[in-house]
Amino acid sequence: MIGWLRHQKHALTAALRRLRMQALTTLLTALAMGVAISLPTGLYLVLGNLSGLAGDLPAQPEISVFLDTGVSTAQKQAIAARLKQADIAEARFVPKDDALAALSAAQDLADITAGLTQNPLPDAWIVRPHSTSREELARVADALGKLPGVAETHLDSQWADRLQAALAIGRTGVWLLTGLFAIALVAISGNAIRAQVLARRDEILVSRLIGATDRYIRRPFLYVGALQGLLGGLAAGGVLAVAGGILRAPVERLAGLYGSAFHLLPPTPVEIVAVLALTSLFGWLGAWFSVTRTLRQAEVAR
Amino acid sequence: MISFSQVTKRYPGGHEALSGVNLAIEQGELVFLIGHSGAGKSTLLKLIAAIERPTSGMVSVSGQNVGRLSHRAVPYLRRNIGLVFQDHKLLFDRNVIENVLLPLDIAGTDRREALKRARAVIDKVGLLKREKANPVSLSGGEQQRLCIARALVSRPALLLADEPTGNLDAGYAADIMAMFRDFHQVGTTLVIATHDDRAISALGGRTLRLDHGKVGEVSA
């Protein structure tokens, strides 16, 4: 155990020394990784902000229930009875004459409504259910729509549903991008490590001759890969912080124009740690593939 | 300690470096391998350290069948063998003491203990004042002594040297050989491939002559 720890420490210091000795290469690789990583993580942050925005909207979802023009009195009473059930918080009846009057007054459409020979609007109920969850709203609207005498129901939160659907697509996109850029990360790391393995051919050869195991030879390269991945993750953090700094003022101005006090949400510590852990993991993975493959080739050449 | 039984080594392309070699080397022996270049001296040493594998026959070191050793077991065999190369195989991206520390790092020796042992062995080969120097700045003889220090720092029971004085002038060569005699006197088994007749006569010991892949004993 102590020997194992000693080997890990030794490999870590060797890896740090190698990274420091090739500071420029390290920096450029970290930058390439950072730009690659910042795309999916940036999209992730944008989506997080958008769903935060959607969640912040004043939620007074209402269901408009439009009745058939030929609805019978019995049906009307049945509907009114249904709207007194426990899942409905409030229900307001809007007779079609009131609706027409309101339309004429409110929207300055008196000329048009005056020309009508009969009222084209249906009687309606404006219903506010107790629950504000989207699933529950959809269920209530669906149930009301199936009552006899109801022509159609209209859920006011439909635009929010559409936004949610769009965000869901966006989230799928994030995972797709993450997958693609994880591959890119493994490739960048693998390539950098391959160059290092080739540059250290002599050292590897000599180490093998004096009793180094493959594991001993591989270990510092794995640390280099993981550290390089970590630096890439930090570089991505830097890229996003700069982008956030540039975007903050215009976004808050736009939100202000809509009368909202919306602020850009920074990533949570958990998210930051998760991204850094993932980039380190993929850097490590790229190094592992590269070293294992190059060592096997060296084996054949020997 | 070392035994060869009917060992043949044929390289890809058909060149047969060793043909049907039988020999036995006891613990604590000092053995010189002589013969013209290409006679198979290096091949014989490489077979002992599992750098090459025999085409047929059996090579055994300390009771282990080296030719059949698994890939994973080879490093542990080599940790018990000190290797001295004609071209030194030093690492020029680190200084003298770091070169000597490498085998101990590989074996996972405690750092303080490792430094102590490295200093002791560097002192023994007379390079203590140069421990921070880069091997590039050392003379050929000093580089060879550094290579020997690296081979000995893990206190191997067996030391294999391939033309250790090949590139050195007479004074340095005598130095190196005197060093080998000291190690022999403390019980290390040494197998030295050389064509330096002066060294052999000075040190005594057993001499094996390789000729076209065959081994013959040379009586003193």
Mean pLDDT score, B11-19: 88
Mean pLDDT in chain A? 84
Minimum-distance CB partner of B89 among A10, A206, A212? A206
For residue A285, CA distances in Å to A93, A186, A231, B13 come to 65, 6, 15, 39
Scored b (16 or more CB within 10 A) or e, B109-123 reads: beeeebeebbeebbe
Query: Shortest CA distance to A181 belongs to which of A2, A40, A10?
Result: A40
Give residue-wise pLDDT tens across range A53-67. Answer: 766 554 567 788 888
Does the beta-carbon distance from B106 to A209 stay under 8 Å? no
Q: Do A209 and B105 touch (CB under 8 A)?
A: no
Cβ distance A211 to B78 less than 8 Å, yes or no, reads yes
The number of CA neighbours under 13 Å toward the Cβ of B26 is 4
Q: What is the pLDDT of residue B13?
A: 87
For residue A33 the two structure tokens come to: 């990784």
Mutate to test the interface with A, among B42, B70, B98, B102 (most CBs of A within 10 A): B102
CA distance A10 to chain B (A): 8
**Averaged pLDDT for residues A120-127:** 83
For residue B52, the chain A residue with the least C-alpha distance is: A302
pLDDT at residue A199, as a whole number: 86
Q: Give the angle A106-A108-A109 at the CA atoms, nearest 5°.
A: 110
pLDDT the model gives residue B165 = 83
Query: Nearest CA of chain A to the CA of B76: how many Å?
Result: 6
- The string of pLDDT tens digits covering residues A229-255 is 999 999 999 999 999 999 888 888 888
B91 with A212: Cβ contact below 8 A: no
Q: Which residues of B touch A211 (CB under 8 A)?
A: 75-79, 103, 106-107, 154
Strand order in the sheet with B56-61: B16-25, B2-10, B56-61, B64-65
Q: Residue A279's pLDDT band (boundaries 50, 70, 90)?
A: very high
Choose the weakest-confidence range: A13-22, A26-35, A273-282.
A13-22
Chain B residue with minimal CA distance to A208?
Answer: B75
What's the mean pLDDT in A59-82?
A: 80
**One-letter identity of residue B214:** K
Kindly report, residue by residue over B54-90, the tens digit of the pLDDT. Answer: 999 999 999 899 988 888 899 999 999 999 988 889 9
Check B105 against A10: CB less than 8 A apart.
yes
Closest CA in chain B for residue A10: B105
Q: Give the contacts of B187 (CB within 8 A, at least 6 positions apart).
A: B28
Provide the residue ranges of all domains of chain A, joining segments of one domain with +. 2-57+161-301, 63-156
Question: pLDDT tens for residues B204-218?
Answer: 778 899 888 888 887
Q: What is the pLDDT of residue A294?
A: 84
Decide if A209 and B150 are in contact by the 8 Å CB cutoff. no
Do residue B106 and residue A207 have CB atoms under 8 angstroms apart? yes
pLDDT, tens digit, 9 for 90 and up, residues A90-117: 888 888 888 877 777 765 666 777 777 7
The answer for B 53-92 residues in CB contact with A (under 8 A) is: 72, 75-79, 83, 89-91
With beta carbons less than 8 A apart as the criterion, state whether A69 and A122 touch: yes
B75 in Cβ contact with B37 (< 8 Å): no
The lowest-confidence range among A40-44, A152-156, B38-42, B129-133 is A152-156
Of A7-11, A13-17, B157-161, highest mean pLDDT: B157-161
Q: What backbone torsions phi and psi does residue B78 show, to the nearest 5 degrees? A: -70, -25
* CA closest to B75 among chain A residues: A211
Contact A137, A157 (CB under 8 A): yes
The pLDDT-based confidence of A301 (bands split at 50, 70, 90) is: very low
Interface contacts A/B by beta carbons within 8 Å: 48
Look at residues B91, B92, B96, B113 and name the one whose alpha carbon lies nearest to residue B104.
Answer: B113
Across the interface, whether the CB atoms of B93 and A203 are under 8 A apart is answered yes
Average pLDDT over every residue of B110-126: 91
Chain-chain contact of A202 with B83 (C-beta, under 8 angstroms): no
CATH topology of domain A63-156: Alpha-Beta Plaits (3.30.70)
Q: Which residues of A touch B93 (CB under 8 A)?
A: 203
Q: Do A211 and B51 touch (CB under 8 A)?
A: no
Query: pLDDT confidence of A158, banded at 50, 70, 90?
Result: low
- Is B124's pLDDT higher than 90? no
Predicted confidence at residue A157, as pLDDT, reads 67
Cα angle A302, B4, B9 (rounded to 5 degrees) comes to 40
Average pLDDT over residues B93-122: 92
pLDDT tens for residues A203-224?
Answer: 888 999 998 998 999 999 999 9
Count CA atoms within 13 Å of residue B196 on its CB side: 25
User: Residue B117 has what pLDDT?
Assistant: 94
Q: How far apart are CA A255 and CA A261, in angstroms?
A: 6
Q: Cβ of B107 and A211 within 8 Å? A: yes
Q: Please tell me whether residue A113 adopts helix, strand or coil conformation.
A: helix
Chain B residues with CB under 8 Å of A4 CB are: 108
Higher pLDDT, A112 or A69: A69
Check whether A300 has a pLDDT greater than 70.
no
Residue B196 has pLDDT above 80, yes or no: no
β-bridge pairing B189-193 and B158-162: parallel
Q: How far is B80 from chain A (nearest CA, A)?
A: 8
Determine the distance in angstroms separating the CA of A233 from the nearest CA of chain B, rounded to an integer: 30
Nearest CA in chain B to A5: B108
Chain A interface includes B102 (CB < 8 A): yes
CB contact under 8 A, A212 and B83: no
The reported pLDDT for the residue numbered A107 is: 58
pLDDT of residue A264: 81
Q: What is the mean pLDDT of residues A159-182?
A: 84
Q: Look-up: residue for tokens 């199936």?
A: A146
Q: Which helix (H) or strand (E) is A159 found in, with range?
A: helix A158-199
- SS3 of A228-291: the string is HHHHHHHHHHHHHHHHHHHHHHHHHHHHHHCCCCCCCCCCCHHHHHHHHHHHHHHHHHHHHHHH
Look up residue A198 and give its two tokens.
């080739």
pLDDT over 90, % of chain A: 23
CB–CB contact B79 A211 (8 Å): yes
Predicted local confidence at residue A60, as pLDDT: 62
Locate the chain B residue with the closest alpha carbon to A11.
B105
Mean pLDDT over A293-301 rounds to 70
Does residue A130 sit in helix, strand or coil? coil
pTM over 0.95: no
Most confident region among A29-43, A54-68, A104-118, A137-151 by mean pLDDT: A29-43
